[in-house]
Structure formats: structure tokens, C-alpha cells
Amino acid sequence: MKPSSILAATVGAVLVAGTLTAVLTTGAQAAPVGAGSYTTTPAGPLPTGCGDLSTNPRQFVTANAPAGPVPTNDWWSNILFKRTDCAFGEPLHAHPVSFDTLPGGLGLSANTTPQISGTSTGVGEYHFPYVQDLLVGVAGLNAPRVMVDGWTDWTVSPSWTDGARTLRATIGHGLPFSYYQVTGGNAQLTVAAPQVWSNSGPMIGFTANGHEYAAYAPAGATWQVNGGTFTSTLAGRDYFSVLALPPGDRAALATSLGRYAHNHVSGTRVSYVYAPATSTVTTTYAFVTTQKEAGTAGTVAALYPHQWRALTGATPLSNSYVSARGQMKVLAGIGQFSTAMTFQGVLPEIPAVADDAGPDRATLDGYLAQVAGNPADFRGDDTYWTGKGLGRAARIAELADQLGNTGTRDAALNVIRTRLTDWFTASPGKTSRLFYYDRNWGTLIGYPASYGSDQELNDHHFHYGYFVAAAATLAKFDPQWATGGQYGGMVDLLIRDADNYDRSDGRFPYLRDFDIYAGHDWASGHGSFGAGNNQESSSEGMNFANALIQWGQATGNTAVRDAGVFLYTTQAAAIQEYWFDSRDANFPAGFGHKTVGMVWGDGAAYATWFSAEPEMIQGINMLPVTGGHLYLGNNPGYVRANYAELVANNGGAPGVWQDILWEFQALGDGDAALANFRNNSGFTSEEGESKAHTFHWIRNVAALGNVDTTVTGNHPMSAVFTRNGARTYVAANITSAPVTVTFSDGHTLAVGAGRTATNGAYTWSGGSAGGGTNPTPSPTPAPTASPSPSPSPSPSPTGSPSNSTLYLRADGTLGNPAPAGSAQIASAGGTNHDGVPTNATVFAASGLNLTRSAGTTTFDLFVDAGGTVANGTQVRVSYDLTGDGSWDRVETYRYFATDPVPGWEHYTASVGLSSATGTPGDLTNGRVRLEVWNAIGNGPSTVGTGNQSVIHL
């Protein structure tokens, strides 16, 4: 959420085999993309700015600049838009230096003194504002405007001319050097409060406003000092550079770093690799340099905290810069550097591990019933509020599917399908709920637009992330809809518009909304603020990144998936540093907050664009809460500190957005969040939430525990949780073939097609709506639309391989007795499953060495159907005698008809065999699997675990 046509087109575009082909149009024209389409005629306002910007976004771009769409939403975009000053624009905060474009050239500021305003309990902000230290230019230069002469991944080259003199500069994120080319006059520095401490040959070292700089002219040149004006003829050449020095021995640093002064950075480029086997994202930041003079190769770069904490293969200098993002460490003499970050994984939704037949299940079913008739609850018809409604419906579809509530699931999916199909169809005469491609700006604008998504190109990743995420959920259940021949092409256009992952695609700028070097998105398209660009809801940015992972995985598009993983992993690290400052290392002393609502180019603010309420200032960086937002729980201690600040600043418990805040709190203290929900369940849901999803999330996170960042899976849709020292492994398989997920600690998890599987110990101590304690849930995979059988948890060695008496344990194993508990047996759903395990609860043991006696298998299971009438529980026992993976003996027993009276009943082998295959024998490193399911009935049952239910082999 935030806060930033072209005339009727005579040339439109059609997507043909991935290429945008020009076609003549008259009036409204629909350009087909599979079964969908977009319009080539604007249906609303277009980008605005100085002059004819709406039809000519390149009016402030020189002929030397790259062809194709101009970048928007970048740290330097304001000098393209020029919305506040039609000549020069606002300051550019590159770090460790800020810049300003002026008639006489380029201003530099290395301000290290923050301005802090507001209070530690209310709205407050800090900024390192632009305070000019010097002006770099050409003697006599008085240009009427600044132009953009070029750009690369994190640099820009502004240029000036007044007809007689020219100046071209190159500046960028992480570049302590700024590089210059001049014609028509002497190089000139106009310095504030100057103190020259070195002036020998081509290098001059000086202090400006208390900050240390050095300027480097070509070999053989000198600098002339006249008060605060320094000039050089450059010995007849046209280049020089200026270096902002880090704290330290200024003379020594000017010499050592000065070796790279004439290696002008002329290009920058990022590349990334996601390795699922190690769940690692390796990112390489490369520099292209033009060596103006013979000497040492390489350049100097200052790294942001999210970069240097993940740096590999290089050692920073002991000197570092102060910046609005905290300490920036320095690498010298490099051509590139690389980082390695761990991708923790995402899920379609939190698994339903804690569902039982008690009051909580009834409460959840009641909440689902309340939303079944209106799963999206659209609060508006524009791109943002449509997206919020689609997101709400997607959450409901995911959790209803887990619970086997196919009616509500399908109702939500139908809403998603209908609304997306409508938006993805631009029929003649249609002016609303459609997308327009503007070939001048290289952007896809949805109408009705909102929050400046049309005139300012704001927030496209926020709005479209909801569309893509909902499409990913739909794709799992309706893969045909998501094909290129249907509506998948339109989804891909939305992705490419917000963050084009394909450099060869000239229809959209590369990674429009994502600042590659800063490691996070920018929301404002134009960035025309004195404080630079800004972003409020980092979590909605992460919703977009997660949507790419989900969509790429659902459609088999690894390029989209990997782009999503890169965006997600990098931004997750940046959020921990710059929005949360979870290490207490980056916010300036005296700011007084543990989080911010907005990050600006020159600082950050405990504020939002729309509210001064602490709940919304903090909550805006938490919503929407989905299975792709587990990164919020990577530091449970910080979660608790963040929530404590909210309560303190609010003067008590939250009064709005309670659902968002309690869902966040659950990632640090699930029991407290659940208690908050139970005690205050009459709240009004946030517009994109539902009580069904909120209760499902909090209840199951409380059972799972904290996100375990020490273990990762080799599958992008996997996660690990820890509660009371016990791990729960989760993996989702949204493809049509089974997979086995291997975790970094060696644990494996088999996941059937279209399934979410869990395997671990669950401790449920949150209580129930009606008092008492909920039973321990089983690790039963959630039911889905797929007809594939439920996957079996991978058994762990039981520790008693020579014992023929085994107990059913809560972690899905068969082994020694444990504390009494229970596990759920899913409902038969009114269908007869006699003899066929369906949604079975599975218990297993491996590494067994036993000599067969003359007896047969016996068991005594504690089962209870509560008050459910006409349930029948059934058991199948399977023996793999040698552990070779094949079942040598399979015994299916007749089902046991349970009574409708709460309390344990004994289901024993005395019911007799229904069928048996294979021959019994000795177990040599063998395996045994016991499957329990409801063969008949309409309700779930429970089976006792720990020291209750037992099997005798």
C-alpha cells in the first residue's frame, strides 16, 4: 500500500512467440496473449511530468543512452521524471555519497550526521540529508538542464552542456569514486569550508565541511587553489575523478585507494545462481572499468550490511563508511565480488498439523462457513484492492483444501478464476478491469489504477504480486488455465512489468522495481523527493517475490522461480537490516525505534503514508501473512521485541489490524498469540484477511513452533520448525509427480503429487475454545484435490531394532513407550474406503532385526470417534523384510465400527484379516509400516499414542 497515454496509440503491440510485434490500431485494440489480451489504447491517466513526458519518456535522455524502456523506480529515476524541477530534479542518495544535479555540475555530500525528529514512542524519522560539500564541474558551466547519458545495473551517467562546455559524470551505489569527463574548460571543484592537506602533482587532498576527499587529475596535471575554488587544466586531457575517503589515515588512504582513480567504472552487472541442493543463492556483482592510465587494475566498492555479512572470497579493509544503511565496508582492487545467502524456503500455506475433532475444528469450520459465500470480499475495483481480495481468496482456498473442505476451496478458486480472466481480457469497448501496454514507457498499467500506479508508475510489484500469487494458487488446481495458450502469458507479462527477469526482453526495463545493489524494492516510480526514493511495505514486495517462486514452481518455469528466489533471499536479508535492524546495528543512536514503516534513500521513518497508528506503522511490513512470509520469523527474539515495542507505543494491546500483528507475533511466541486471539476474537479483520485464515495460521504456528533457520531443504517449497527441541519438517509438492525432499541435516520427506507433507513431533498446548487441552496431532499430510495416496513420513530408526513390541508415537514412528498423547485420523468424507488406505495416519519403524515366531501380528489401538456416528477405523500393516524398499507382506484388517460416545475404545486384531499378501518371515534390517484410516463415516477420529496403542510384530 502506498504512496507513486500515451495519446490514443496508432501503433499497438501483439505478443507473438514471446516477442512484442507492432500492429496498426485504430481506437481501442485488444492485443491477444493466448486466450487473454491487453489493450493498446489507454483507458485512464498516463505517466506525467515535465514537458511531453507522457508521450516521450526519453526527453531527458541523450542519444548515447541504451535503447529501450527507461528505468523507473530506481534510486536515480527522479532526473528522468523531473517532477519537482523540470531542469535538475532532487538529490540522489547512492551511498556512501549523495549527489545533486545543478546548473554548474554535480554536487557531492558525504554527510555522516543524522537528523532525528519525532519521539521514541510516536511517529519519528531519521535522515542523513544532502548537505553539499563540493560542486564538481567545468569552469563557467551554466547548463539549463541535466540529461541522462547512460545507465547500468546500479550506476547512472548524468551529463550537462551549455553549448560551450560539457560535463559527464558516472556515479553509483557503493562507489566512493565519482568519475568525470569534461570539454570546453578547466575542471573545477567549488569546496565548502575547505582545508587542503595535500596538493602534490595530480592529486589534491582536502577537507570539505569536515569530510575528507581527494581529487585525481591525469598524470602530469596539477591543481590550482584559489580559496574554495580548485581548478585543473587536466594536462590537456578530459578526465578526472573524486574520492570520498572513509575515516582513517587520510593521506595513506588517498594514496592506496588513489591507485584505482583512473579506472573509471563504465558498467555494472549482477548475476545470480540458485542451487536447490544447498538452498544457496550466490550473487555476483561485477564492475566494468575503462582504464584511463596504466596502473593497477580494479576498482573500489563499499558494501552494504546485507552484502558484507554474506561476502565470500574477499576481505574488506579495516576502514568503513557511515551511511543511512549503517556501516559500509570497503573492498579495493576488485573487478567483482560475490555473496552467498541461504534461501530458507516458502510454503503455499502453513500446514494444518493441529486440526482435531474438538472445539477448535468446529471454530475453524465456522469461520470458513462465514467466508464461503464471499471468499474475496473485494473492497474496491482498482488494481490494489482487487489484488487484496484475490490474496484473501487464495488463502481461503489453500486452507480449505488442507481441511478437505472442497466446497469452500472451489468457491474461492472460482472467484479467482473469474476475476483474473476478466482482468486478463481486453475486449473492444471495455474500459475497466483490463491492462494497457504503453510501448513508450515499456509498462503494463492496470485500470482502474490506484496509488499512482498509472501516472507515477508506483507500486506495480505490490499490486501485481497479489495477482500472480492468486494465479499460482489457481494453477495448482487448474493447470490448463495457467498454460501459455490460456492465461499464463498474461501472468508472465505482469511479472515482467514489475520485475522483468529476462535481460533479452526489450519490452520492459530489467528488474524495474528492484534496486539490485541496495537489495530491495523501491515503490515510487519517480522518486522525486528530497530524501530520495522510498518504500513502505517491504512485506508486499516479498509477496511479489514469493509469487514468482510459487508461479514458477506451479508452471515449471525455473527462470521465473529462480528470479523469485533471488529477489526473495536478497530482500529478506535487506529487510532484517534496514526495516527491522534486528541486530541493533544500523539505525542511528537516539532514533529510539526497533523498526520503521518506511525506508527512504537518505534514512527511514517510523511512519506510513496513510496512518500514524503504531499498529499500521509496524503492520504494514507484515502483511499479507502467507506461507511465503516465514522470513518474518527468522529471528524469533526480534519478533518478540518488535511486538513489545508496538504494545509500548500503542499504550496497550493493538486496537486495529490485530490479526496481522498476532500472526506476526506467533512466529516469535505462538502460545501468546493464540491466547490473544482466543481472548479477543471479536476484532474486525484487516481488509485482506479473514478470521478463518488468521485462526488457522496462529493455531498451527503455535503447534509448529519457531522457524528453524539452521536446516534447509533441497526443494524451494520446504521449511523446518522447532518447538521444545523437536523439529517438524514440511514440504509442499504442487507438481503432478511425487518428490522426495532431503534436508540439510539428512532428514528426508516423501511428498506425493499435489500434497503438503509433514513429519515431526507436534506439541499442542494452546488449549481449546471451550477449555481443556487439545490432543497431540498426527503428522498426517493434508488432503488435496489430487487422487494420489497420502505420502508416508520417512521413518527414523526407533532405537529398539530387536524389540517386537512397538508403540505408536506422536512423531510418526513405532518405538519405545512415550508420554501419552493422540493423533488425528482424517474423516472418510462420507465415501467408502474399505480396504484402501485414504488420508491415512502413518507410523513406521526401520532397521529391525527380528526372528519370526509362530505367532501372528497383533495390535491394540486406542481409538475414539467422539460423538460422531457410524465411523469405521481400519488398519493395514506392511512388512519390508530386508529393507530393500519393497513390501513383502501386507495385512489389511477389517474395520472397527466406533461408537458415538466420547472415550477410548480398543481396536484389536481380533476383528480378523480382510486380506493378506506375501509370506511372513524374519526381519533383517527391515521396515514395518502401520497405516490407520477411517474406512467409513463423516467425521475424524483420534488414535492414542505414546504408551497407549501398541503393535506386536
Q: Which of 590, 453, 596 is nearest to 535 (CA)?
A: 596
Dihedral sign, Cα of residue 360, residue 362, residue 364, residue 367 = negative
CB distance 881 to 922 below 8 Å = yes
One-letter identity of residue 194: P
Residues with Cβ within 8 Å of residue 460, at least 6 apart in sequence? 73, 443, 444, 453, 497, 498, 512, 513
CB distance 890 to 878 below 8 Å = yes
Between helices 383-402 and 406-423, what is the axis angle to 10°? Answer: 150
Cell of 624: 499479507
540 is catalytic: yes
459 is catalytic: yes
CA R_g for the chain: 31
Angstrom CA distances, 711 to 306, 591, 704, 791, stand at: 21, 35, 15, 22
Return d(Cα 721, Cα 779) in angstroms, integer.
13
One-letter identity of residue 101: T
Catalytic residue among 149, 355, 478, 540: 540
Dihedral sign, Cα of residue 685, residue 691, residue 695, residue 698 = negative
Cβ atoms < 10 Å from Cβ of 73: 29
Q: Parallel, antiparallel, or unpaired for β 320-323 and 280-291?
A: unpaired
**Which class for 863: exposed (0-12), middle (13-18), buried (19 or more C-beta within 10 A)?**
buried
CB distance 372 to 316 below 8 Å = no
Place of cell 514395518: 928
Cβ atoms < 10 Å from Cβ of 163: 9
CA 576-130-527 angle, 5° bins? 65
Q: Parallel, antiparallel, or unpaired for β 147-151 and 155-161?
A: antiparallel
Angstrom CA distances, 197 to 218, 233, 247, stand at: 20, 21, 15
Rounded (to 5) percent helix, strand, coil in the chain: 20, 30, 50
438 is catalytic: no
Phi-psi region of 156 (alpha: psi -120 to 50; beta: other; left: phi over 0): beta
**Ordered DSSP codes for 564-627:** HHHHHHHHHHHIIIIIS-TTS-SSPTT---S--SEEETTEEEE--SS---HHHHHHTTT-S--T
Q: Which of 554, 580, 581, 548 is nearest to 567 (CA)?
A: 548
CB distance 453 to 387 below 8 Å = no
**Which class for 24: exposed (0-12), middle (13-18), buried (19 or more C-beta within 10 A)?**
exposed
Catalytic residue among 74, 355, 536, 686: 536
CA 653-655-659 angle, 5° bins? 90
Residues with Cβ within 8 Å of residue 123, at least 6 apart in sequence? 605, 606, 607, 612, 617
Q: How many residues does the chain have?
A: 953
Q: How many CA atoms lie within 13 A of 820 on its CB side?
A: 8
CA dihedral in degrees (319, 323, 329, 335; nearest 10)?
-120
CA 147-152-157 angle, 5° bins? 30
**Positions marked catalytic:** 459, 536, 540
